[in-house]
Structure 1
């Protein structure tokens, strides 16, 4: 251990290697204990820091650099993940709730600061720590299908107001602390901040759209452009005298619309989530003085005042808004629980205030306790409350549409019945091609349509390159095999051979040109994300204009006799996978098992409503396919679904909507199932 401590002080690679081990091993361990992974990172920092084994030092250049990048990245991701579309839908109501959930906690926090003898500047800064919130429980409401509930929507939209407001207060408080206070200096700071904010928000938004338009193929350079925007904004913030995290958050908002939900955003968030942001949380643990932490908790009044003040003020703000807009008590509780967790902006602002000397070590320790309490309590309440919120009722009549494309969002061609139903099926792997083309042919034959087997040959700088010639030969062979399979299944196949720089873009563009209603993609699992799907599949999912069926078949599509459709709720979003299951059941005379898994906190009335809808669905399908419905109440939907999948040949799942909270990725139910399921799988993704 002594050798390790000595080496880590002289060799920068040693602390970096230790950090990688911590990030890899600790969060999963804490999540098994049903504790947030970021708590494990904080604990690791405490254990490995000056109060423990002294392996890592908060004063080392390596930690300062990596933690500084993590702090900037944390606030950038917070800005990048603000759902601007949700904000635009209910802008006025989002601003109303944003105002109340900002000003009420701000007042409470300021009062707490004054009660514990902080000056007005520090007290107002403590108030700003109360004002923001992190949407840690977003994956829960997304899985339960209640994101469209207005109370949930306005809470998501309010994030943009609370985070910007709290960061602006931080900038002003730090600016006042760093110099002699005067009205003139305050006015100058506010004017500089306004001009700077406008320059970042509008400048990088325009520059980003222009750059992405001119360089649509080069994702590497697009990624670098986003990072450049982040760190230039952070540097610009420091130049005008405000904290760099303000610039990072504004940069996230500025490029929000530019990157959308595409592959560049996935790469940006992925890098932060797995590396820099976890390092920031480890560094927070290094800062904690265990003796001081215990001493501050022994005089527990400050900690209690901060924790209880935050919880009660957020509750009051949610209840005021609930009363104004006449939401139900459950919706008011959902707004409160969603706005409760204090992670990203709160921790970042606290660290800045502590380093500037505005906040004491007692406040820092109390905020860490606050983060642990709220990041555990908020999602717990959300999971109980959201399961009982009103969910838009599924319009079962829609599932009788003539084509699959009419149920899922698609282009206008899908609505034109004169256009033949088209299934595009990319072929590249001779080992999986047979089953894949069979699946596409079954769907197209049911819809009286056609299939378009497509093969992409990777472009080269010179069109006479031998490598390109070999690629074209392989593609032609795959397409010839696809045509033979289609002919044996009595379906029209119109093969398409393309030369393209990018496989995913080639598939998406060809599908658009062919007015495709569905893309059937093959998937061979090989590690998470691209480890889960592979970059080609994830890119097609993000860029396609029509639904994409990511398919892993272990048996021939014609041999499937039992189909499992697991659902987490019954809403219009469930219709595409129900329709696909019905098509496959009709062509194969197969049985469909619809498994609806409800959380234990789901109300009796909601469960009764679900049962009625399932019975209605059974009656509508009875004369066409064999259908069995089952409703299970279980707090672990993954376990229930995997158990049911043991007795089936094919499971049809919805595409998971990946989202991270505070830069730390939260597992999606679908993602967990895909990693462990042993039968054939179709994951149906909708266009972005």
Structure 2
């Protein structure tokens, strides 16, 4: 009775899934294995070959797995950087063609060698042709995303994934029977028209809806979900596999979402719930006896792995010859295009579940098991190779020589913008009289260096009745704080323009004022509230980080900024944002005749030549400053980055950090290292956050 209840109750099945998703991935990540490997193994253990607690045929698993499969392809479309694709469109299409056709041909030859039909062979080739940018966080962390070879590989993803899904749709259609040249033409024509409707129609509708809905994130979230499922249902109606519609929907709303909080929430709900359900279901489908048999007759699996690795290498090598890339760039392109996860797994499951009237599957269980092994191998191998060779890439040319915050930050997106005649403007929200002086001093020092002005801002909570006595009292208090801010600013002889704003939302009030004043920087104080996330930033600061159009400096100042003589800047990569933090520290040091130390903590396993190369590049960047600032570089080998920074910071007055964000439901979260630093550093802190990232 109890066993029947466990296997038949949707609620119990869902509870088991949530427990697995919550507990298993962190355990495997501690073992330095991908969390999805743990989910696959959990599916095997809980399925028909194990404890029989979950059934892949149940309605609950079918629904959650289907949604996870759609979400996987939707996020794949959403994650493609269209801006990067536009920058190197021709070369991206060129490499995309190579890294699509070479594996496709290899897969077809492989299929025929193992006596698969032409249709199944082409399908196997298409499974090898796509790739997942699993190692993107690595190149992002190393600051080489703007290197042309990396940009071209990222752009090629849109071509490989689209091509693979197109072939999937055709092969599934052929396998279904009653197929002719006319039906193929009808399918392709319908798919072309449908793609245009989704890509252009959803893009237009999304932009219109977002423009009209303003800040209503809940409705925007629901609109994006509706777009995902409408596109998927529409694909089914025209006879195309629904994951094609999900991928097209991701591409369609890509520009609409940009890097907004809504995108983070969309990806969050998929990455923590639905996509893990899909991987657990993949584990449920694995038949252990058949899997063992596949591995015992290892030839198909081995040949598929070798064909994938070899064909992707050939494609990268041809791109090197064609576009004159160096060896490091070629190997990085190869490693980035190796992992076979999102499109490959989703298409494999669709092909495995496709049954013709004769009850024959498009691909058999042996191919399914081989692709799962391929996914495991490439998901581990690709990022390892990327981490090894991406460090050798040259940084893209950039203006490291500027000593103006205005110039540095306005050009943070490498866009040509017209020279603005407006002065450098620092918005300073004032609320707490106890920390107000140090905030104003920090803003005044920066504004004076940039020949700019500061704008002290007091936000007063709006009331329904504008003649409410409480509102009048709050306005008086705001005026008092602004008068104090003006007095402090006059000590530094900078221009001051005070503003009182009545607003329902303090964070949006700050962001809107900074936009209206065309601010270059927002300087805010730390929030002393409860809860881990609130203790770090507070909800107001969290929202400002998301909504602000300019840079935001969150400060915890334990002494007057005029007394800072030793400034520490931990440097983990050479991204523009990190180098912006270095410039921020150097400018503050220039004001106070202070000393700056750039601290790089490297893993003990990092080769010495790579550490020396990084230090040399950092030295070049620091040395290009025309400011008379004493800047030293310190390199320490240790696996505990936070511990080293905390220890070294004891001799410093200020630490300048850069926010490194991960996706969360709430929007902003910092890395574990930054979280620990914020909690344990004993000196003053400035945390710089780039807008809308």
Change (3 A) 1:455 1:121: farther
Distance 1:278 1:108 in 2: 31
Instruction: Quote the residue 1:42 is aligned against.
Output: 40
Alignment of 1:504-653 (within 5 A): 504-524=507-527, 536-553=540-557, 557-558=561-562, 560-570=564-574, 573-597=577-601, 604=609, 607-608=612-613, 610-611=615-616, 614=619, 617=622, 624-632=628-636, 641=645, 643-645=647-649, 647-653=651-657
Distance 1:656 1:650 in 2: 19
Indicate conservation of the 8 Å contact 2:264/2:663, yes or no: no
**Would the alpha carbon gap of residues 53 and 497 (structure 1) be closer, same or farther in structure 2, given more than 3 Å must change?**
farther
- Conserved? CA contact 2:133–2:154, under 8 Å: yes
Q: What is the RMSD of the two structures over their aligned residues, measured on CA atoms?
A: 3.3
Query: Equivalent of 1:264, from 240, 248, 262?
Result: 262
Q: Which moved more, 1:97-106 or 1:423-432?
A: 423-432
**How many angstroms does 1:355 deviate by?**
1.1
Partner residue, 1:114 = 112
Counterparts of 1:175 and 1:163, CA distance in 2:
18
Q: 1:185 to 1:471 in 2, by over 3 A?
A: farther
- Which shows bigger deviation, 78-87 or 559-568? 559-568
User: Which residue of structure 2 lines up, in the alignment, with residue 672 of structure 1?
Assistant: 672
In 1: Cα distance, 2:60 partner to 2:350 partner: 19
Q: Do the aligned partners of residues 7 and 549 (structure 1) sit closer, same or farther apart at CA in structure 2, a change above 3 Å counting? A: farther
State the alpha-carbon separation in 2 of the partners of residues 420 and 682 from structure 1: 23
DSSP-derived class of the 2:152 partner? helix
CA shift in 2, pair 1:158/1:323, >3 Å = same
Asked if the contact 2:25–2:36 (Cα under 8 Å) also holds between the matched residues in 1, the reply is yes
What CA deviation, in whole Å up to 9, does each residue of 1:137-169 have, x standing for no partner? Answer: 111111111111111110000000000000011
SS of 2:455's partner is: strand
Matches of 1:207 and 1:322, distance apart in 2: 41
2:22 paired residue among 7, 21, 24: 24
Distance in 1, matches of 2:526 and 2:133, equals 32
Matches within 5 A, 1:176-195: 176-195=174-193
The structure-2 alpha-carbon separation of the partners of 1:363 and 1:262, relative to structure 1 and needing over 3 Å to count, comes to same
Q: Structure 1 stretch 276-285 or stretch 69-78: which is displaced more?
A: 276-285
DSSP-derived class of the 2:671 partner? helix
1:10-58 CA deviation, whole Å, 9 max, x = no partner? 4432222222222222212111111111111112222222222222222
Query: Structure 1's 406 and 233: CA in aligned 2 closer, same or farther, altered over 3 A?
Result: closer
Q: Deviations over 1:85-115 (max 9, x none)?
A: 1100000000000001001101111122222
Change (3 A) 1:12 1:629: same
Task: Give yes or no for contact 2:17–2:277 (8 Å, CA) kept in 1.
Answer: yes
Whether the 8 Å CA contact 2:459–2:478 is kept in 1: the answer is no
CA contact (8 A) 2:130 2:161 kept: yes
Distance apart, 1:499 and its partner CA: 3.3
Aligned length: 676
Indicate if the aligned counterparts of 1:409 and 1:546 stay in contact, CA closer than 8 A.
no
Q: Specify the alignment match of 2:481 in structure 1.
A: 481
Asked whether the equivalents of residues 438 and 485 of structure 1 are also in contact (C-alpha less than 8 Å), the reply is no
2:195 match? 197
Could you give the per-residue CA deviations for residues 560-594 of structure 1, whole angstroms, max 9, x where no partner exists?
44322122344655442122112332445543211
- Structure 1 CA distance, aligned partners of 2:621 and 2:59? 65
Residues 494-503 or 551-560, more deviating: 551-560
Aligned with 1:397: secondary structure?
A: coil
C-alpha separation in 1, matches of 2:318 and 2:402:
38
* 1:382-397 mapped onto 2 (5 Å cutoff): 382-392=386-396, 395-397=399-401
The C-alpha deviation readout for 1:173-226, integer Å capped at 9, x for no partner, is 111112322111111111111111111111101111111112222111111111
Q: Answer yes or no: is the 8 Å Cα contact 1:420–1:448 preserved in 2.
A: yes
Unaligned segments of structure 2, at least 5 residues: 355-360
Tell me how far 1:634 sits from its aligned partner. Answer: 6.3
Contact preservation (8 Å) 1:565, 1:592: yes
Distance (Å, rounded) in 2 between the aligned partners of 1:41 and 1:470? 55
Name the stretch that deviates more: 154-163 or 352-361.
352-361
Q: Deviations over 1:516-575 (max 9, x none)?
A: 120123444877878975665454334433222233445554554432212234465544
Distance in 2 between residues matched to 1:349 and 1:192, nearest whole Å: 20
For residues 648-663 of structure 1, the aligned pairs below 5 Å read 648-656=652-660, 658=662
Shift of 1:415: 4.6
Residues 398 and 407 in structure 1, CA contact (< 8 A), matched pair in contact too: no
The aligned counterpart of 2:380 is 376
| Secondary structure, counterpart of 1:519 in structure 2 | strand
Equivalent in the alignment of 2:500? 497
In structure 1, the residue corresponding to 2:392 is in which secondary structure?
Answer: coil
Q: What does residue range 62-81 of structure 1 map to in structure 2 within 5 Å? A: 62-81=60-79
Q: Quote the residue 1:101 is aligned against.
A: 99
